[in-house]
Structures are given as structure tokens and as C-alpha cells.
Amino acid sequence: MPIYEFHCEDCGKNFESLVMIASALDDVSCKHCKSSNIKKMISTTSSQPLNSSSIPAGALSGCSSRSGFS
């Protein structure tokens, strides 16, 4: 789910918004004061793909050892 966290420069509050396409990031407005003066923060959900990528890396090392056997 492409949920981004934003910080409003006007009211100083943080809020999350579901953004399906990257171009829609410019259309996001503050949920509290409707201001467009916001900054996109690094989402915590972006760290999940990094953790899952470590699993295929271990599978690759096992595959290389098998090719050395033949």
C-alpha cells in the first residue's frame, strides 16, 4: 500500500495519505488545515521491501554452491 506520511508546514501536524501515483503527491493537501505547504516524510513501510530482499540473497548463495558441485 503506497501510504505516505506528510508534515504540514502551516499547522505543524503530521498525517498520512494514500497516494496511488507519484504525480498525485503534488495534489496532496493537509487533512487538518487543507494547506498545500507540506513535506513528504520517509514512510516506515518502505523498509519492508529491504528486509524481504535479504531472503533471496541467501537463496542465491545456496544456488552458487550447488553450481560449484558440478
Q: Which residues in this chain contact Zn ion in the complex, by CB under 5 A?
A: 8, 10-11, 30, 32-33, 35
Distance of closest approach, residue 46 Cβ to Zn ion, in angstroms = 23
Find the shortest distance in angstroms from Cβ 26 to Zn ion: 16
Three-state DSSP at 19 gives coil
Q: Which three cell numbers stand for residue 24?
A: 498525485
Q: If DSSP states are collapsed to H, E and C, what string results for 36-66?
A: CCEEEECCHHHHHHHHHHHHHHHHHHHHHHH
Give 37 or 46: the residue with its C-beta nearer to Zn ion: 37
Nearer Cβ to Zn ion (11/43): 11
